[in-house]
Every structure is written in C-alpha cells, then in structure tokens.
C-alpha cells in the first residue's frame, strides 16, 4: 500500500492515522519531494475522473491565473497543470498493489474498502 500526498496536509494526516490505527503500515510518497509522473496522474484520472483528481477547492488552484484555470477542460490539460502544480492534486491517493483505490479521506469509504 502506498499513500500519495504531502505530509503537512490535514486530510493526508487523517488518512495515514486511520490506516495506522487500523493495522496498516503504508509506504508514504511525498509528491512535493519525490514528484509525480504523467503516467501516475493518468492512472488516477482513469480511476477517479480528472475532475476528482484536480482539487479546485484548494489554495493552489485558486492562486492560478484565470487563464490557466480556463485552459483546463479535459484530462490532458488537467494533467499538464498538475505536473506543474502538484499541490493541486486531491490528496491523499491510496494505491494497493499499484492500483488506485481511494482518493481524499472519508472514514466510511475507508471502512468499506478495508474492513
């Protein structure tokens, strides 16, 4: 299991805490330090939809120029922006055996998937 995110994000902290308290010991991938690939973003977009992977409620998205925001109209353009602004990725993303299974943190979803 790999949890992708950034360490100071409260949602990532909640997810990691929940996983650890429920007996999981996930690897953590800090995509601010280790980066993220277009292939990985495509896999996440295929699993969740690009609209779910792109966090339009976050500060990073809101700080982008309206021109950049308006150019994001599909998965390809979303990934281009996310590669340049990886803090705009909805987080965390949880993968098991290389497959993305959860995005963000919702305790009921985590219970349904892991119990």
Whether residue 77 has pLDDT greater than 90: yes
Q: Which of 9, 43, 52, 101 is catalytic?
A: 9
25: tokens are 């010991």
The strand order across the sheet containing 99-103 reads 27-30, 2-5, 93-96, 99-103
pLDDT digits (tens, 9 = 90+) for 21-74: 999 999 999 999 999 999 999 999 999 999 999 999 999 999 999 999 999 999
- Residue 9 annotated as catalytic: yes
Within its chain, how far is the Cα of 18 from the centroid? 17
Say whether 28 sits in a helix, a strand or coil: strand
Q: How many structural domains comprise the chain? A: 1
Q: What is the CATH classification number for the domain harbouring 110?
A: 3.40.30.10
pLDDT digits (tens, 9 = 90+) for 85-107: 999 999 999 999 999 999 999 99
* Domain range enclosing 10: 2-114
- pLDDT score at 115: 78
β-pair partners for 5: 30
pTM of this structure:
0.94
- pLDDT score at 26: 95
């Amino acid at each position: 299991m790999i949890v992708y995110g950034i360490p100071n994000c409260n949602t990532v902290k909640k997810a990691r805490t929940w996983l650890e308290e429920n007996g999981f010991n996930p690897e953590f991938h800090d995509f601010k330090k280790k980066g993220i690939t277009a292939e990985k973003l495509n896999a996440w977009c295929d699993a969740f939809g690009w609209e779910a992977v792109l966090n339009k409620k976050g500060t990073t998205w809101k700080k982008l120029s309206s021109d950049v925001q308006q150019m994001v109209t599909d998965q390809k353009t979303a990934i281009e922006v996310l590669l340049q602004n990886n803090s705009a990725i909805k987080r965390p993303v949880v993968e098991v055996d290389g497959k993305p299974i959860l995005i963000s943190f919702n305790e009921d979803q985590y219970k349904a998937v892991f119990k």
